[in-house]
Amino acid sequence: MTSLEQTISEMGHALETLRALAAKLATKKDDPPNSEDLKIWSNAESLWRRLPELRQPFGQRLTAAVAAERATGARSVIARLAGTELARLAEKHNPLILVLNTRLLGTWVTLLRGLNIEDQVFLHNPGDRPDNAQWRAESVADWLRRHIETHPEWALSAVACRGGFLGPVTCGTYLATETMWSDMAHAPISHHSNLALAIVQRLRDSGLVEQDIPVAVTDPVACDELDDVERLTGFAPLLRDGTGAHYLNHRGCHHLLSSFLMRDPAQLTSVTIHLGAGTSVALHRGGLVRRLVDSFSGIPSANRSGALEIGPVLQSLKKGDFDLKELDEAVFRSGGLMSLAGTDDFEAFLGFRQAGATSGQAKKIDAFVDMVARRAAASVGALTAGLDPDPPVLVVTGPLVRSPMFRSRLLKEFGTAFPVVVMPGSVENEALAAGALRALFHPATCKDYPQERSEVARRRDAVRRMWETTIFERPLRYRVPGAPVTGIDELIDSAYMAVRGMRLPTMAIVGAANEAAILAARYANERGRYRLARFLLVDDYESVSSLAYDFDLVVDGQNYAIEDTEDPVAEAVRLLDEGRVDILMKGRLKTEEILRGVFSYLKRSGRLKKGQVVSHVVTIDIPTRSKLVLITDAAVNPYPDEKRKIAILENALTVASSLHIPTPKVAVLSAIESVNPSVDSSLEARRIAERMAHRTDCLVEGPLSFDVAMDADVAAEKGYKGRIQGDADILLMPDIDAGNVVYKALTTQSGATVAGIILCGDMPMVLTSRGDSARSKLASIAQAVKLWHELSLAQP
Amino acid sequence: MPSDDSSGSRPLPADLSMLASMDQREYLTWQAETVSDKEQYWTRASRLVEWRQPFSRILPTHSEIPWDGWFAGGRLSAIDNCLVRWARGTHGQRIALRTFEQGHWTECSYAQLLSDVTKAASLLEGPVTPGDLVAIVMDGTRASVTLMLAAAWTGAVSVPLSSRLSATALAQRVTHSEAKLLYLGELPIPKSLPHHLADTTYPRILGADGRQQGSAVEFSDWIATAASRLSPPGREELKTKDTGSSENPVAHIFEARDPLLWVYANAASERPRVAKIRIGGFLVQAMDYHRILFPKIAADSEDESLILAMDSSAVAALAQGVWASLCLGWTVTLAPWRADQVSALSSCPADLSRAVLMTKPDTLDAIRTWAANQGAAVRFRQITCTGLTLRPKTVKTCSHLVSDGPHRITNLWYQTEAGSGLVATFPFEKLNRPGALGLPLPAVEAQVIDDLGNTCGPNEGGLLTFVPPWPALTYPVPGQRDRFYNLHFSLIEGQFSTRDGVRRDEEGFFWFMRRIGSEVTVDGISVSTLEVESVLTHQGQVKEAAVLPIQAADGTRLAAFVVPSGQVSNPETFKETLRNHVRETMGSSASPTLIVVTSALPRTRSGKVVRRLLRRLLIGDFSEGEDLDHLANPQVVSDLVRAMEKPQ
């Protein structure tokens, strides 16, 4: 037992012990820990991380350990990334491996013998011609040819290359297959990472690479392991797909960290932050990159703007501050540091801070560094939200963290929230080499590209379908209860509000073997937040069943049940008598057939009181009008006398009250807006207005012409002096002809939506027809249900 | 016969006491067990049959025809099972068959029936050899049943035909089947029968009396007369045989997979669909289900009676009403079933209150009306309806016709090609819901599948399908294999698709919703629109099709909406190709007069083709701006409207 173990053992992992230990370690924080130290760390890792004051020393010691090992060369890193068995095989067989890592500015080419680098070069892109695979391949071929000429006995055993925008797959090592070559030839995005496979293809064609040696692709850019929730956005057509991050380096760092902590990578949770020409942040959990902040969703990079707030972007686009092309440039090519500082070279940028920057420029540089650091910290916060209480280990990597200034600023941002391990540069080449060893010695453990591609596609599709699941087919807006209902949608919503938590009424569809009625019944319970009613489908069993089948109505015996009968009206009356039905709805039968049948019931049961009439009220939502208008009577009472008209008006006022219309304005219509003895309807309209003049719950005026009642400009133009100036709420029609003509004219010619009911005392009856839109059908039921609730509550 | 290891499984409800005490949940649990071990279930059921040679394997193997080969290696005699076993001893005097002929009820015992069948069989030998077809109009007479059994005695295959068939349809079937012998009963001889049947030197058409239509004769006279007509030239003596004791059997021994019956599926089609029923599976399933569907008065009761008041050529009638009833020793009463004839029940010697009435709902309505006019109450022990939808209201209004509550009125769902009833309600309160199709019968896996191939949730309407195999499932006759497969097995991979739209409620009961497609009469010929659709979609150039009847000036015609599977370069040639294809497969009456080529068919969100909308489009009863919110693809309607505007 070492002294350190002894210490822990003796003090039983007590907090005080660890704190003391931390203090001890902090005094020699830059010394690399020895292997025994590492073993102890590994065993006590979660405890280390749990104590805020221990996190920094823990991170510092790990940073020192990793740095010390990397300083000895790539060998040990490759060995760690490949694992013990593959490293042993590599050392035993010493295969010659070509590693190609295509970067933005050139290609890293590495020749590896076993675990040792024979030679390595960064072949710069010449600036005088566009980047492509052909000339990159030529320069690699030249370099390779020189080695082969020098060592004719050399034979490549495997090739490792960076994978670009393949079909999205999970992370891991893949053997290049025909499918993969084909996918790469049709990559959806042009990117330097795509070029490695194309280079290999050309090297094969030229004979420099044998056709039958394995070509390994590890952690391509187009990996995608996001969990389902991470894919979601607030805008259904745009789902996040997880591709386009520095998976090779992220995963390499995570695996390296796991190795140092002697943990299975699948058991370790970490966050890796890659800061370079591009930026991305990845959460590793359960061996997968489950959460990700990529270049577009987070931190600005050398030439990308990073996440932008979409609202201001849209406003600026609308205002013309910049156009779509400029935005595209900023997001993909010349945003970020390039647009802010005129360089995409962070080193130059930060170096300029120390030499030559004015105070104003220095301030901007500092602000930029602050911004990047803060965004990086915010990204980590976003990725680690809701995780275990133990904070994950953070790895900060990428070329940018080579800068001490930037590094210290960044570490300051994290404070003691996480243990932070710094791994400047990248381990991409080493990770590719480890992948090649896997492909060479354990090809069976390589992943199957088509299979993984299908699996990712399936998962994406499943999430997309889930996210596209319809919940409310019609937008449902919040309204304050009791507010005046000004549109049909509001009417429907207010009905939903009315039924919330209340007993659902039972609606009998009289003659239910009718398309429109069946559809209306379906809409009533499928289009909103709550079900509106239970439906009894009163008609011939076979006919109703057949319709229910055709229109996907779920006859479950609860929400929808069939009442098998050959006489729907008689059956409906029986159901009313038995109290099994609250509301009637017209099906295939004519309105008068139903009314004739139920009239005696209404009288007998006292539901239609003396003086009350059965009348039709249609609520109309005209697109050009800011409020609803009620028309009565367009369907039931053909030529009512004055007394009957007042009773009809009372019914309309009941409906208006249900719509919370304050002091409804009632226009008693005639052909003209002044009394003319030769126009009977004008005389009658005046008498009605006079008889209703004492009412304070409504304002009744007449005679009014339709245009004066409905159009303020016309009212003004005609010099109408009344209080209704084109803003009538109720139009009391002179007769059924006028009522029906106006109703049909509005619905067919002005795009109006209607809700039609017949008020039978305290029982509404719903009318729908095939010509009604789905919205109208739903609105009619909604209005009846709302009214029924209110009238039921009003009962003593 | 394979050993029967019953350990670990609940026993078959041999005396049905178990069924009587089950609720639907318990039944479905038990039923699921039977589905999961069909082999064990059918092994037990197979014991109801007397086998001359035990079978070596129960279930069919997975071959090209997955349901082929039930009870492989088994050999059995139809006559052993339905007559010989009962004709012995005292049971031989029990009434086997009761019929109503020429205004009188006639009865014959099992012994007598066996004797008649033996004699009739001896008549057939000569004109008919094993495997030949004998067409029999099932007119409810003793002769029709005797001949069917006699055919089985000789090893021939019966082709039961409905007595309601038109002369044309009858002639088509007889011609199509190439029957060697035709029993017409009271029906007149159709003009267009094949020549060989009309051969005057060797006539093979039997009437009710064998000599002239319409005169009443004793049954023995009929046999003699028939013998004289059937005896081939040079054969002078009627060959009479012993009544076939089990020690000296003479009846034909069938292989289990030999056909016993040919059954025609559609009423009067130009190219009728026909399927074969194999004897082994048919008898096992029919007998087993008979015991479950019609529980005996008491487990040891020997006085069981079934009144069959429906067309006895229907598969359910043949299976449960005739074959299984006789095989189980019941008395079968063939009662008149037309509305104006049901009053014959007044004089029926059977004790109605102890009898099971098997009928169709429309006949039941007629019986209700007749019963209402009777002075005394009419009650049956049980009423089982089949063939048409049993409406809840019918159960309600007929509940007084059964003695023990409406649950004694049950439903049996069957389809001809299924070869058996597969879904039923049971005469127990907990296992019956008025108007329901019922629960799946034991060892039957029934599902409700929507048009997108998804399993429907509770109460969602979809197509009733069954997962094969089951023993009685029919198989196609030569030349109709593709047609059979396309119609029943192509819609949902590996499943037998019916033409019934159903739902299954939360309790597990199936409910009928609608028949998909329809049987349409075109020029007097019955055509299944669903089959025309099937023929079109298997033509190769059509992805989807919907066929509907239209009323033309010259009568009913068919209209087809088709979605081509590729580009159509010449629409007129394309349409003509389709018409010819249907004509060749199903006959000219099935060929669509109007073909509308469209990009898609209007469908609901569950994938159902909205035929009502297509129908309205055809008759011009559609207006722009109609509510199409219920459609998954409302945009297709404007395409259809445009397509309809083009000259067709």
List the end-to-end C-alpha distance of chain B, in Å, as a whole number.
62
The encoded tokens of residue A39 equal 């073993």
B351 at interface of A, judged by CB pairs closer than 8 A: no
What pLDDT sits at residue B199? 53
pTM above 0.90, yes or no: no
Q: Which of A370, A342, A344 is nearest to A357 (CA)?
A: A342
Alpha-carbon distance B642 to A238, whole Å?
Answer: 35
Structure-model confidence comparison of residues B162 and B524, the more confident one: B162
Query: Once rounded to an integer, what is the mean pLDDT over residues B486-500?
Result: 84
Compute the distance between CA of residue B582 and CA of residue A517 in angstroms, rounded to an integer.
Answer: 38
Q: Which of A264-278, A648-662, B40-54, B225-239 has the lowest mean pLDDT?
A: B225-239
**Lookup: tokens for B509:** 């009961």
Give the separation between CA A549 and CA A764, rounded to whole angstroms.
28
Q: Is B612–A777 a contact, with Cβ atoms under 8 angstroms apart?
A: no
Mind telling me how many Å the CA of B605 is from chain A's nearest CA? 8
- Across the range B608-620, mean pLDDT stands at 90
Spacing of C-alpha A336 from chain mean position: 26
Q: What angle do the packed helices A310-319 and A324-332 form, to 10 degrees? A: 140
| CB atoms closer than 10 angstroms to residue B377 | 10
Give the residue from A344, A378, A374, A350 showing the smallest Cα distance to A364: A350
Are A549 and B612 inside 8 Å of each other by CB? Answer: no
Task: Check whether B490 has a pLDDT greater than 90.
Answer: no
Chain B residue with Cα closest to A768: B627
- pLDDT confidence of residue B499: 83
Instruction: Name A34's Cβ contacts closer than 8 Å, sequence gap at least 6.
Output: none
Asked if residue B243 has pLDDT above 60, the reply is no
Predicted confidence (pLDDT) per residue in B532-575, tens digit: 998 998 888 999 999 999 988 888 999 999 999 988 889 899 99
Query: Which pLDDT band holds residue B242 (cuts at 50, 70, 90)?
Result: very low
- Quickly count: other Cβ atoms within 10 Å of residue B164's Cβ: 15
The number of helices, as runs of H, and strands, as runs of E, in chain B is: 19, 27
Q: What is the mean pLDDT of chain A?
A: 89
Q: Are A337 and A349 in contact (CB under 8 A)?
A: yes
Q: What would the two tokens of residue A720 be?
A: 């109408």
Tokens coding A143: 């370099």
Radius of gyration, CA atoms only, chain B: 25
pLDDT in tens, B269-309: 667 788 999 999 999 999 999 999 999 887 777 789 999 99
Residue bearing tokens 């990597």: A397
Name residue, tokens 């939506």. Answer: A753
The pLDDT tens digits for B139-161 are 999 989 999 999 999 999 999 99
pLDDT band at residue B578, thresholds of 50, 70 and 90?
very high
Instruction: Write out the two tokens for B235.
Output: 């054969």
Sequence letter at residue B355: A
Q: CB distance from B579 to chain A under 8 Å?
A: no
- B612 CB neighbours in chain A (<8 A) are 515, 550
How much is the pLDDT for B2?
41
Split at pLDDT 50, 70, 90, the class of A630 is: very high
Q: Which residue of A has its CA nearest to B605?
A: A552
pLDDT at B505: 95
Query: For residue A727, what pLDDT is reported?
Result: 96
3-class SS of residue B382: strand
* Burial class of residue A721 (count of CB atoms within 10 Å of its CB; 0-12, 13-18, 19+): exposed
Dump strand ranges (E) for A581-653: 583-586, 614-621, 629-632
Give the pLDDT confidence of A118-142 residue by residue, as tens digits: 999 999 987 777 788 888 999 999 9
Whole-number percent of chain A with pLDDT over 70:
92
Q: What is the pLDDT of residue A482?
A: 82
Judge: A550–B514 Cβ closer than 8 Å, yes or no: yes
Rounded to an integer, what distance in angstroms lies between the CA atom of residue B422 and that of residue B285? 10
**What does the alpha-carbon distance between residue A434 and residue A259 come to, in Å, rounded to a whole number?**
14
- ipTM confidence score: 0.84
Is residue B63 very low, low, confident or very high in pLDDT (cuts 50, 70, 90)?
Answer: low
Q: Which H or E run contains A563?
A: strand A560-564
- Cross-chain residue pair A522–B630, CB shorter than 8 Å: yes
- Judged by phi (left if over 0) then psi (alpha if -120 to 50, else beta), residue A268 lies in beta
**CA dist., res. A684 & res. A701, Å (int):** 11
Q: Where are the alpha helices (DSSP H) in A500-621?
A: 515-526, 541-550, 568-577, 591-605
Cis peptide bond N-terminal to B194, omega within 30: no
Q: How confident is the model at residue A76 (pLDDT cuts 50, 70, 90)?
A: very high
**Which DSSP state fits B544?**
E
Q: Alpha-carbon distance A307 to A326, whole Å?
A: 15
Q: Do B391 and A542 touch (CB under 8 A)?
A: yes
List of residues 6+ apart from B244 with CB closer than 8 A: B79, B84, B114, B118, B250, B251
Model pLDDT, residue A770: 67
Q: What is the pLDDT of residues B32-59, one digit of tens each?
A: 999 999 999 999 999 999 999 999 988 8
Q: Tell me if B74 sits within 8 A of B53, measured CB to CB.
A: yes
How far apart, in whole angstroms, are the C-alpha atoms of residue A58 and residue A260?
12
B-chain residues within 8 Å CB-CB of A473? 629
Percent of chain B with pLDDT over 90: 52
B51-60, B97-106, B118-127, B258-267: range with lowest mean pLDDT:
B118-127
Question: Is residue B222's pLDDT more than 80?
Answer: no
Q: If we measure between CA atoms, which residue out of B314, B489, B282, B325 comes closest to residue B388?
A: B314
- Which residue, B457, B546, B466, B543, is CA-closest to B500? B466
User: What is the average per-residue pLDDT within A749-769?
Assistant: 89
Question: At residue B232, does pLDDT exceed 60?
Answer: no
pLDDT of A13 over the 60 cut: no
Q: A549 and B501 in contact by Cβ < 8 A?
A: yes
- Do residue A770 and residue B627 have CB atoms under 8 angstroms apart? yes
Q: CB distance B391–A773 less than 8 Å?
A: no
Among A50-59, A149-158, B475-484, name the one with the lowest average pLDDT: A50-59
Mean pLDDT computed over A621-646: 94
Bridge partner list, B308: B334, B358
A491 pLDDT higher than 60: yes
Residue A730 bridge partners (DSSP): A630, A666
Return the pLDDT at A473. 67
Alpha carbon A36 to its chain's center? 49
Q: A554 — phi, psi (to 5°)? A: -90, 100
What pLDDT does residue A42 have? 61
A542 neighbourhood in chain B, CB within 8 Å: 389, 391, 514
Closest C-alpha among B248, B222, B228, B217 to residue B116: B222
Give which of A582, A595, A638 is closest to A781, Cα–Cα.
Answer: A582
pLDDT of residue B221: 62
- Tell whether A744 is within 8 A of chain B (Cβ): no
Contact A565/B at CB under 8 A? yes
- Whether chain A has a CB inside 8 Å of the CB on B512: the answer is yes
Going by pLDDT thresholds of 50, 70 and 90, the confidence category of residue A749 is confident
Instruction: Please give the C-alpha separations between residue A319 and each of A306, A316, A323, A345, B176, in angstroms, as whole numbers.
Output: 22, 5, 9, 32, 81
Looking at CA atoms only, how far is residue A630 from chain B in angstroms? 23
Q: Nearest-CA neighbor of A177 among A446, A538, A460?
A: A446
The pLDDT of residue A151 is above 80: yes
Residue A246's nearest CA partner among A218, A269, A227, A287 is A218
Decide if B522 contacts B556 (C-beta within 8 A): yes
Residue A419: is its pLDDT beyond 50?
A: yes
Residue B168: per-residue pLDDT: 80
Q: CB of A558 within 8 Å of any CB in chain B?
A: no
Which amino acid makes up residue A734? P
Which pLDDT score is estimated for A60?
A: 85
Averaged pLDDT for residues A514-522: 89
Pairing mode, strands B205-207 and A614-621 = unpaired
Task: Produce one character per residue of A560-570: b if its CB has 16 or more CB atoms within 10 Å, e if not.
Answer: bebbbbeebbe
Substitution target in A473, A545, A556 with the highest count of B β-carbons within 10 Å is A545
Rounded Cα–Cα distance for residues B15 and B20 (Å): 10
Q: E-strand spans in B489-538?
A: 496-504, 510-515, 519-522, 525-528
What is the DSSP annotation of A228-255? Answer: HHHH--SSTT------SS-HHHHHHHHH
Q: Identify which of B392, B511, B514 has the shortest CB distance to residue A546.
A: B514
DSSP 3-state of B422: strand
pLDDT of residue A28: 54
| Mean pLDDT of all residues in A135-155 | 91
